[in-house]
């Protein structure tokens, strides 16, 4: 594929990203002059066992999700035997990129991002979908136009390894995903996920807690090489934020909520994404700056400027 190629009603503009599963292009609708992101299965990997089914699995998952906090799928199809998915084109940066600039976020901003992510997870969980790979790279901060300062909204990306919960057992499509048996990102995986046990919505809440810990403390719950981190997820208790980063002044109630999310036993975590969201929303007033930070449209004003725009698809391309 090359710039100028036509894919259905879209014209390829420029490649954006490439990962283990696919490549992503910025494209333009040929009559509406609207930019979109198109994700393809990589040419040199299209014959990998199960890869096509896994890609179709992601498309089906996203097509069922309509929360404003989830990246929206617009179209899908096959071009020259290459399955593709068209999503909205976003400008901004992912949370991983943001944390490279600012090691940690203000508690208000960190909690607000978590609340928005939980709105996406709430819909997914209600439909029986567990994300399984929630991490900073899969949380996109969409730059919004207008208003004072830089404003952004949150979009959850990459349901590529999501699992659909079936009463009769594992999702048959998911078992075809190529690669290792343990799927996810070590620093954000729930203990039961590390052990290869069944995942539930509570597994995503653990990952949300790990993400919130990272944004508040400026470092992950457990540090080290992959194997050491995976072992720690199962065997070690996390250090409370107040002990890890006492100078950051994370309120005790917020610290307790994060620790509850990181409980080894899924039954001890918050009851649901909605329950956790309501708990965090109740904490916002005591964090300060809420009125100045929040906007009526559900966006937030950043403490610093966003860098040059990048495509949301950059974060969608799995590594």
Q: What is the CATH number of the domain that holds 269?
A: 1.10.510.10
70 shares its domain with 187:
no
pLDDT of 298: 57
* CB burial of residue 239 (10 Å; 0-12, 13-18, 19+): middle
143 closest CA partner among 316, 291, 301, 314:
301
pLDDT of 245: 87
174 shares its domain with 78:
no
pLDDT of 13: 97
Q: Could you list the residue range(s) of the whole structural domain that residue 36 is in? A: 6-90
128 shares its domain with 99:
yes
pLDDT of 116: 96
pLDDT of 314: 38
Please report which confidence band the pLDDT of residue 83 belongs to, taking 50, 70 and 90 as the band edges. confident
- Residue 274 scores a pLDDT above 80: yes
70 shares its domain with 219:
no
| Token pair recorded at residue 179 | 């690669």
Q: How far is CA 208 from CA 44, 75, 84, 111, 138, in A?
A: 34, 29, 29, 11, 11
Distance CA 290, CA 286 (A): 9
Please report which confidence band the pLDDT of residue 316 belongs to, taking 50, 70 and 90 as the band edges. very low
Query: How many structural domains compose the chain?
Result: 2
Mean pLDDT, rounded, of the chain: 82
Please report which confidence band the pLDDT of residue 75 belongs to, taking 50, 70 and 90 as the band edges. very high
Q: What pTM was computed for the model?
A: 0.83
- Residue 248 scores a pLDDT above 80: yes
Residue bearing the bigger pLDDT, 281 or 319: 281
Please report which confidence band the pLDDT of residue 168 belongs to, taking 50, 70 and 90 as the band edges. very low
155 shares its domain with 291:
yes
Domain's final residue, options 74, 90, 106: 90
pLDDT of 312: 40
pLDDT of 161: 61
For residues 67-92, average pLDDT: 91
Q: Is 53 among the domain residues? A: yes
Domain's final residue, options 56, 90, 124: 90
Q: Is 234 among the domain residues? A: yes
pLDDT of 254: 97
Residue bearing the bigger pLDDT, 238 or 54: 238
User: Helices (DSSP H) in the chain: which residue ranges?
Assistant: 51-63, 95-101, 107-126, 191-194, 201-217, 226-235, 241-244, 252-261, 273-287, 290-293, 312-316
Domain's final residue, options 65, 90, 115: 90
pLDDT of 283: 94
73 shares its domain with 126:
no
Looking at 75, 102, 133, 171, which residue is catalytic? 133
pLDDT of 104: 92
* Residue % of the chain over a pLDDT of 90: 55
Q: Is 179 among the domain residues? A: yes
114 shares its domain with 126:
yes
Q: How far is CA 166 from CA 92, 202, 205, in A?
A: 36, 16, 19
Torsion angle of the four alpha carbons 93, 95, 101, 102, in this order, in degrees rounded to the nearest 10: 140
| Token pair recorded at residue 209 | 């807690």
195 shares its domain with 298:
yes
List pLDDT tens digits, range 282-304. Answer: 999 888 765 545 554 555 555 44
Q: Is 318 among the domain residues? A: no
Q: For the chain, how far is it from start to end, CA to CA, in angstroms?
A: 20
* CB burial of residue 101 (10 Å; 0-12, 13-18, 19+): exposed
- Residue 16, SS3? strand
Q: Is 315 among the domain residues? A: no
| DSSP classification of residue 266 | G
133 is catalytic: yes
In DSSP terms, 17 is beta-bridged to 24
Residue bearing the bigger pLDDT, 183 or 86: 86
Half-sphere exposure of 299 (CA within 13 A, CB side): 16
- Residue 27 scores a pLDDT above 70: yes
Q: Comparing 51-55, 141-145, 199-203, which segment has the lowest mean pLDDT?
A: 51-55
- Residue 173 scores a pLDDT above 60: no
80 shares its domain with 118:
no
The most confident of the ranges 23-27, 150-154, 212-216 is 212-216
11 shares its domain with 160:
no
Domain of 33: which CATH number?
A: 3.30.200.20
22 shares its domain with 109:
no
206 shares its domain with 245:
yes
Please report which confidence band the pLDDT of residue 311 belongs to, taking 50, 70 and 90 as the band edges. very low
């Amino acid at each position: 594929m090359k710039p100028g190629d036509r894919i259905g009603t879209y014209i390829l503009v420029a490649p954006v990203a490439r990962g283990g599963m696919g490549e992503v292009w910025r494209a333009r609708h040929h009559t509406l002059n609207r930019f979109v992101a198109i994700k393809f299965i990589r040419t040199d990997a299209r014959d990998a066992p199960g890869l096509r089914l896994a890609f179709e699995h992601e498309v089906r998952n996203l097509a069922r999700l309509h929360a404003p906090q989830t990246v929206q799928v617009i179209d899908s199809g096959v071009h020259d035997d290459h399955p593709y998915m068209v999503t909205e084109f976003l400008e901004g940066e992912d949370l991983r990129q943001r944390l490279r600039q600012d090691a940690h976020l203000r508690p208000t901003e960190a909690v607000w991002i978590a609340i928005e992510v939980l709105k996406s997870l709430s819909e997914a969980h209600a439909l029986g979908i567990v994300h399984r790979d929630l991490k900073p790279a899969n949380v996109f901060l969409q730059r919004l136009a207008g208003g004072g300062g830089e404003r952004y909204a949150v979009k959850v990306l990459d349901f590529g390894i999501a699992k659909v919960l079936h009463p009769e057992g594992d999702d048959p499509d998911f078992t075809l995903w190529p690669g290792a048996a343990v799927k996810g990102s070590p620093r954000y995986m729930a203990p039961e996920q590390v052990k290869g046990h069944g995942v539930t919505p509570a597994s995503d809440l653990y990952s949300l807690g790990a993400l919130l810990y990272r944004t508040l403390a400026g470092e992950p719950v457990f540090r080290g090489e992959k194997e050491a981190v995976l072992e720690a997820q199962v065997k070690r208790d996390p250090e409370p934020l107040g002990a890890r980063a006492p100078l950051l002044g994370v309120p005790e109630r917020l610290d307790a909520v994060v620790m509850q999310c990181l409980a080894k036993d899924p039954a001890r975590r918050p009851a649901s994404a909605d329950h956790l969201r309501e708990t965090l929303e109740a904490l916002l007033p005591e964090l300060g700056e809420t009125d100045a930070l929040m906007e009526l449209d559900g966006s937030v004003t950043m403490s610093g400027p966003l860098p040059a725009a990048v495509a949301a698809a950059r974060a969608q391309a799995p590594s």
